[in-house]
Amino acid sequence: MKRLQTFSLKIFYVTLVAFLLSNVSHAQSGKINGLSVVAPPSEFSEDPFPRIKETHAEWVCLVPYGFTRLGSTSVKYNLDRQWWGEREKGIVESIRLAQENNLKIFLKPQIYIPGSWPGDLEFSTEEEWTLWEEDYKKFILFYADIASSYDLDLFCIGTEFKKSVQKRPQYWRDLIVEIKKVYCGELTYSANWDAYEAAPFWDLLDYIGISAYFPLVNESNPSVKKIKSAWNPVVKKLSKTNKKYNKPILFTEYGFLSVDGTTYQNWELEKKINKLSVNEKAQANALDAMYSVFSKVDFWAGGFLWKWFPNDKGHEGYIEKDYTPKDKLAENILKKWFE
């Protein structure tokens, strides 16, 4: 009888451990493990999504671009001269292939401003603001309709419009209402890392979205331990915003160049990329530290790593130094945490 009780007790503990482990696995798989797929200049030479699935990513972010020139009040998009992947035809084909590969899709239309960036977009008169806003509404509703037609999982209302959302809050709140008339899925906005606290419409969205290029450690090759420590004050600030709005935090963009110093101001490193040394270890450490920290943060919904070049097309010419983890040490880190 005693032997039978001991055996039964062992069975109980084995079952309990299996149950707890399954819950841990479920909690980790609940994060959005996504990759931002660069829009290629021409049609895919082969389906790029099976290779993406090898990283254990479950989501992809697709980015159709529109263009505004400095001083212009117009938004141009879906033009014949644009790259294939940035236009409706390329986006629809990317959606089709991603869905065939059972990947969830985040559609993130963005505005490119040559010689500037959306955060500095500003006009001096009400008439100019209104003209641009009307054009932007047409642009974003065009892609919201595509997101609705293909039953996409998540849609972004805008990316890094730092000055616009602060100076024109009612426009953005009204725009969200208009988008919801077209698209009934989940919504977010991609705020720059230094402006997410000032966005005036998180209450209307499903996620607090952040382009999470936080400057962390100003060293060429910091350790995982040091990078993890640098994330702690960032997590505390994010926690306050999460509690204020009771919305999960989503990194709509995050990433690290594979160069020296990648844990500090990557936007500045891009300007002198040719002078920097390749450093895959620094990139891998940065990702390992980030996942290690945020895998334990309940309010973090996951995010989309910037970026993945389908069939190695669409890069700027320095792919060995770029944000992509493909065929680098960082890809192994990705696989470890995504799995």
Q: What is the DSSP code string of 119-149? A: GG---SSHHHHHHHHHHHHHHHHHHHHHHHH
pLDDT in tens, 74-108: 999 999 999 999 999 999 999 999 999 999 999 99
Say which residue, 325 or 3, is predicted with more confidence.
325
Smallest CA-to-CA distance from 248 within 195, 294, 214 is with 294
- Beta strand pairing status for 76-77 and 65-67? antiparallel
* Unique residue bearing structure tokens 């039953």: 151
pLDDT surpassing 90 at residue 170: yes
Residue in 133, 142, 149, 134 with CA at minimum distance from that of residue 185: 149
Neighbours of 156 (CB within 10 A): 25
Q: Mind listing the pLDDT tens digit for each residue in 235-290?
A: 999 999 999 999 999 999 999 999 999 999 999 999 999 999 999 999 999 999 99
Q: State the pLDDT at residue 315.
A: 93
Provide the 8-state DSSP code for 278. Answer: B
What CATH code would you report for 34-338? 3.20.20.80
Which residues have a Cβ under 8 Å from the Cβ of 2 and sit 6 or more positions away?
none
- The one-character DSSP state at 204 is G
pTM value is: 0.90
CA distances from 33 to 70, 106, 334 (A): 35, 11, 9
